[in-house]
Amino acid sequence: MPKRKSAYKQLFVLGRIFPWTLHGAYVREDEPMTMEEIAADYDIPLEAVQEAIAYYESNPPEMLEDFRREEARAEATGMNHPGYKFHNQPKLLTAEERATINRP
């Protein structure tokens, strides 16, 4: 289900876990986890893990739109720039810039 009062439109597991979090654990290169291990680690039903991974792998438009907005926001505020970690003050966006980023 989508998270209440959230700018994110994608579905969440139990209203609190991003599907990409579970998918990342499932496919990571160093030590991928089985779906059963993920379910145990997050204390959620196996079926929820299976659904979340299938949802992520289907590339739903709402998730892709969330990713696009996050990337645009990071770029506009300077968070994508190489020196950001040394000067981590994001640029404040104008209302117009925010509206442009949030526009579908």
The C-alpha angle with vertex 64 and arms to 10 and 93, in degrees rounded to 5, equals 90
Q: What percent of the chain has pLDDT over 70?
A: 93
The half-sphere exposure of 11 on its side-chain side, counting CA atoms within 13 A, is 18
Residue 98 tokens, joined:
């925010």
Least confident of 17-21, 40-44, 51-55, 84-88: 84-88
How large is the average pLDDT for residues 44-51?
96
Q: Chain-centre distance of CA 39, in angstroms?
A: 19
Give 45's pLDDT tier (boundaries 50, 70, 90): very high
CA distance linking residue 33 with residue 25, whole number of Å = 6
Residue 90 tokens, joined:
């994001």
pLDDT of residue 13: 87
